[in-house]
Amino acid sequence: MSATASSGIRQLTTFSLGDFQYGIDVMRVQEVTNSLPVTQIPIAPDYVKGLINLRGQIATGIGLNELFGLARTEKDTSKMTVICKVDGSLLSLFVDTIGDVIEIPDADYEPIPDTIQGPIRKFMTGVYKTKGSIISIVDLDKLASELNQTLEKQ
Per-residue pLDDT tens digits for 93-134: 999 999 999 999 999 999 998 888 888 899 999 999 988 889
What average pLDDT does the segment 30-45 reach? 90
Whole-number pLDDT of residue 77: 52
Average pLDDT over residues 127-150: 90
pLDDT in tens, 100-111: 999 999 999 999
**Greater pLDDT, 133 or 3:** 133
Burial class of residue 62 in the structure, from the number of CB atoms within 10 Å of its CB (0-12 exposed, 13-18 middle, 19+ buried): buried
Residue 5 has pLDDT above 90, yes or no: no
HEC-encoded secondary structure of the chain: CCHHHHHCEEEEEEEEECCEEEEEEHHHEEEEEECCCCECCCCCCCCEEEEEEECCEEEEEEEHHHHHCCCCCCCCCCCEEEEEEECCEEEEEEECEEEEEEEEEHHHEECCCCCCCCHHHHHEEEEEECCCCEEEEECHHHHHHHHHHHHHHC
Domain interval for residue 49:
3-153
Q: Please count the structural domains in the chain.
A: 1
Q: pLDDT value at position 154?
A: 63
pLDDT at 1 over 70: no
Return the CATH number at 93. 2.40.50.180
What confidence score (pLDDT) does residue 4 get?
Answer: 45
Neighbours of 137 (CB within 10 A): 20
Please determine, for residue 63, whether its predicted confidence score (pLDDT) is greater than 60.
yes
Among the listed ranges 40-49, 70-79, 104-113, which one has the minimum average pLDDT value?
A: 70-79
